[in-house]
Amino acid sequence: MLVLAIDTATSAVTAGVVDVRSDRLDALAERVTVDARAHGELLTPHVMDALHEAGARLDHLDAIVCGVGPGPYTGLRAGMVTAAALSHALDIPAHPVCSLDAIAAAVDADGPFLVITDARRREVYWAAYDRAGTRTDGPNVDRPADLDTSFTERVEHAHPSPRGLVRAAGEALFSGEPAAPLTPLYLRRPDVAQPGARKRVTVP
């Protein structure tokens, strides 16, 4: 099974092609650029470059895995719209995964740990995991000072890898069930708000 993995939930623009088999995951190619303002500009070129390096085309793909956050509204939307458009055009499933779970999937921990990413506004997104990488709390958004200090191991300000994204999708790729909806994990309202009703002006 050939899977395209993409994520724009962090400051990184991530795309990669992963060969998924029952006994292993082989990352064939990946493109990652850390630039919080370039998600919309770089994601499609990254997808095409990764496919080219993997010796594949879009119509070779069997599925898509997309990180759905938590993340800032603008960046997160770029990845999810791309995943939805490719899923529709190619008639293949697009599986959502929590981006923090994808980071945790690549962690080799000695005990429980936190995954923490930048939420801006002096806040962080975070989730707690047991030693096996199973999420036990979160995702949440808080100030760094409010995090549980009992977790001695922390993975901070990382970004998901294509292999971690696919691993986080787990059995969904082989279940045969329809993919879950691509529902974003914003955790807070976007900065842009709709304007309120116009004030009534009376003429004296």
Residue spans per domain, the chain: 2-173
Tell me what pLDDT residue 198 has: 58
Question: Which ranges of the chain have pLDDT less than 50?
Answer: 190-192
Tell me what pLDDT residue 194 has: 54
Tell me what pLDDT residue 21 has: 86
CATH architecture of the domain formed by 2-173: 2-Layer Sandwich (3.30)
Tell me what pLDDT residue 195 has: 56
Tell me what pLDDT residue 192 has: 46
pTM of this structure: 0.89
Tell me what pLDDT residue 158 has: 87
> Which residues have CB under 8 Å from 8's CB, separation 6+?
14, 39, 43, 67, 71, 75, 76, 78, 79, 80
First-to-final CA distance of the chain: 73
